[in-house]
Amino acid sequence: MSDPVNLSVEDGIAFVIIDNPPVNALSGRVAAGLRDRVTEAAADPAVIAIVLTAFGRTFIAGADITEFGGDGPTVDVHAVLAVLEDCAKPVVAALHGTIYGGGLEVAMACHYRIADDAARLGLPEVKLGLLPGAGGTQRLPRLIGVAPALEMISTGKPVTAQDALNLGLVDRLSKGDVRTVAARFAATVARQKSPPPRTRTRTVIPPAPSFWDEAAARIGKSLRGLPAGPHILACVRAAVERPFKEGLDLEGQAFAACVRSRESEALRHLFFAERRAARIKDIPRDTPTRPIARVGVIGAGTMGGGIAMCFASAGYPVTLVDINEAALTRGLSTIQGNYAASVAKGRLAAIDRDAALSRIRTATDYAAFTDADLVIEAAFEDMDLKLLIFRDLDRVCRPGAILASNTSTLNIDQMAAATARPGDVLGLHFFSPANVMRLLEVVRGAATTPDVMATAMDLARRLGKVAVVSGVCDGFIGNRMVAGYGREANLLMLEGVEPARIDKALTEFGFPMGPIAMGDMVGLDIGVKAAAEAEKAGRGSDDPRPGIIAKRLVAAGRLGQKTGAGLYRYEPGGRRPLPDPAALAIIADAARELGIEPRDIDDQEIVDRCILPLVNEAARILAEGIAQRPGDIDIVWVNGYGFPSLHGGPLFHADTIGLPKVLDRIRQFQDRHGPRYWTPAPLLETLVAEGRRFAELED
Ligand code: CAA
């Protein structure tokens, strides 16, 4: 194994070069290498100054996360940073790429920092449920002041090189080769022979006394449920009020506690799961992709408009087609409204809005797709209509153009069979609102070719989406699972649990919104219509219970938020769900008619009844090969359905509870409610019998 840190000396400047692809993570070996090479350079009489730099796309992008949660560090990183900081010769960090986490902490222990002007610097540990563990909470406030340091640490948001310069985090920016600029700078400061400035000896100006209480309230809210929150505040406060060494010790204890927390484990699982999801098991990573220069979208409604926005915002020219000018005008005006809202909120510059809008052209004829490389249809969920569309697209589009459906349930293989190019057909299932939600299910048909799949995954990355591959089945991964979640919420209501209690139990579990309030927001008529369509297509259910409440409410004109009443009532123009005796009466009537007796149900049962169907169905989805791996399913649910990231997704959560317990609980429900919905998935039974976990099914 080659050495990840090398030393070369040119004209009195020692270059300590980190070479640990892909992102030069600060592993134990890199830390030890840094210590040894800097020690060698410090002892070399020919060396007057040291430049710390890295090969490849970035300076150190953080500690090596794969080494977390093991048996503890083999190298004392504080001691390594002390070697850098205590060095008698000037040590200059030459920074490029993403200088994150442990990387920024290394840089802050150097005497000077020169950054490439495209660099980004940050302490994103909080996104992994952690706080900086290599002195970041102590050195950053000393360099840039308490308030900006707390902001960077508690949000995890990186700053640009220019902002870093303004904050005093870096000393100089470089337009050219940062290594050369740093070497020149190092030679100059070495000749001046003034003692190197040491971050740890700088004093911090204490903030106003009210600062800490305000900060505690803010962080308490933004980092709710994350153990790192209070530690971050305590450590930054220690940087102001206690000696450096004591602050460092406090940080060390806090980091150790956080790294062992379930929440951090869950977030680290999601970090790697997201990256694994981008890979398709039987398709090599270097599979050539098809060039996509222009995109077509069919349907200017909510979904089609959102999809058009995704592409236009990412720089793709888009042709939006709908049946008539009126539909296009309506669609365009929604798109303009959405962009205007982003500009008003300061999330988008007016110039970028104008550029995005200028990329969207409209037409009422598929002939406008002749120059498209990809066309996505977002028409109604009606198979006959989709088959017509695919036949037409196949005729109009050039050979090699990819044809995609945004369907959330229908069979992609049937659509592919309507064309003479089944290999070029796939599903691209965006989540609503498509311009906001990160998830994209990429549905692989039986005939979809590897290069089409590779193109879709690459495209998703360019759109800033997190893509998960799904096989063809009713509802694909996400909506197939959501059926059980919604069904149990409805059955619980029929068993006498008030809607607000169901929502409260699930928001306390961590969902941003409960299933009942969600149903009201989406519109109860949507589910009722979908059920009617399924019935028409012979895919209906013979169980009247799960759908009865929505059906009755819709019949009574209670469609949800949009009509001011659904399962809750709403003040005019309001969105806050308010309990409504009228809805409760409709539920109670339905329950009575179906002969369902109300009974006492505790919060734990509410959560288990809604969450465990997800786990059971996911096990079937895995066994059928619809999802490639458990982590993919977790990514779908965290990014598409608001499953709390602190629980790591349904399957990470199941592993955390313990699969034997999960299976026991499912069997209890099976005893009480019968086998129809509660027969344990064979894969779950097998895993329990073998003493294994879902995590062991990852790649
Ligand atoms: N440790 C280990 N592996 C890492 C890593 C890290 N800190 N950061 C990235 N990687 C790996 C990824 O898993 C991925 O591996 P595969 O190719 O095998 O999937 C590879 O590097 C490339 O990563 P991305 O696909 O994410 O590449 P990108 O160019 O889109 O993004 C990045 C690069 C901005 C660095 C992004 O990976 C990132 O944000 N990484 C995490 C940075 C971070 O959180 N650092 C703090 C770590 S905690 C810490 O430092 C604690 C401390 O105080 C000591």
Dist. CA 305–CA 282, nearest whole Å: 33
Q: Is any ligand 1 atom within 6 A of the Cβ of residue 64?
A: yes
Q: What pLDDT does 526 receive?
A: 86
Q: What angle do CA 232, 235, 238 make, to 5 degrees?
A: 150
Cα-to-centroid distance, 129 and ligand 1 (Å):
15
* CA 20 vs CA 3, 54, 99: distances in Å: 9, 9, 14
Q: Which residues of 550-560 are buried (b: 16+ CB within 10 A; e: fewer)?
A: bbbbbeeebbb
* Cβ count near 44 (within 10 Å): 15
CA atoms within 13 A on the CB side of 513: 14
User: Is 105 among the catalytic positions?
Assistant: yes
Q: Is any ligand 1 atom within 6 A of the Cβ of residue 631?
A: no
Question: 14 Cβ partners below 8 Å, 6+ apart?
Answer: 7, 8, 37, 41, 44, 47, 49, 50, 51
Q: What pLDDT does 72 receive?
A: 57
DSSP structure string for 638-684:
HHHS---GGGTSHHHHHHHH-HHHHHHHHHHHHHHH-HHHHPPPHHH
Q: How far is CA 196 from the centre of its chain?
A: 41
Q: Which amino acid is at 487?
A: R
Mean pLDDT in order along the chain per 10 residues (699 residues): 92 97 96 98 98 98 90 82 98 98 98 98 98 98 98 98 98 95 97 94 93 96 93 97 97 96 97 97 96 97 96 98 96 96 95 97 96 96 93 97 95 97 98 94 98 98 98 95 96 98 97 96 90 82 94 97 96 93 97 96 98 98 98 98 97 98 98 96 98 95
Closest C-alpha to 493, from 422, 396, 567: 567
User: Is 125 among the catalytic positions?
Assistant: yes
Question: 276 Cβ partners below 8 Å, 6+ apart?
Answer: 629, 631, 632, 698, 699
Q: What pLDDT does 380 receive?
A: 87
- Rounded to a whole number, what is the largest CA-CA distance in the chain? 92
What's the chain's Rg over C-alpha atoms? 28
Angle between helices 228-241 and 136-144 (to 10 degrees): 50
Nearest ligand 1 atom to the CA of 127 is 44
Residue 433 preceded by cis peptide, ω within 30: yes
Q: Is any ligand 1 atom within 6 A of the Cβ of residue 275?
A: yes
Q: Is any ligand 1 atom within 6 A of the Cβ of residue 398?
A: no
Q: What pLDDT does 657 receive?
A: 97
Cα-to-centroid distance, 97 and ligand 1 (Å):
12
Active-site position among 40, 67, 85, 105: 105
Nearest ligand 1 atom to the CA of 271 is 13
pTM for the whole structure: 0.94
133-149: pLDDT as tens digits: 999 999 999 999 999 99
Q: What pLDDT does 573 receive?
A: 85
User: Which residue among 26, 65, 106 is best mutated to probe the pocket of ligand 1, counting the most ligand atoms within 8 A of its Cβ?
Assistant: 65
Which DSSP state fits 247?
H
User: Which residue among 23, 74, 461 is best mutated to probe the pocket of ligand 1, counting the most ligand atoms within 8 A of its Cβ?
Assistant: 23
Active-site position among 85, 125, 441, 605: 125
Q: What pLDDT does 73 receive?
A: 57
